[in-house]
A = this chain, B = another copy of it.
């Protein structure tokens, strides 16, 4: 993780904002469990656990709220 992984919360479109929300959700996991091998192993089990998938979706929704507010909901886009 370099100093530039999060230069800004501003994105060109809602979709890019959503992708940023996904990234924000993953970075916290990486910062807590930095070992990529362990994460890969854990991934295998949670990928088939719907409860985990829903929980991830909730984290993304929380981060998307932040990113959307930062971009004034892209109201002036398009």
Contact = CB atoms under 8 A, between A and B. Distances in A.
Q: Is the interface of A mostly helix, strand, loop or mixed?
A: helix
State the copy count for this chain: 6
A36 to B, nearest CB: 13
Nearest to A31: B22
A8 B78 contact: yes
Given A31-B22, A56-B32, A10 B75 contact: yes
A48 B46 CA distance: 11
Contact of A70 (B9, B13, B61, B68): B68
Interface in A1-15: 3-10, 13-15
Given A14-B7, A48-B38, A69-B69, A24 B55 contact: no
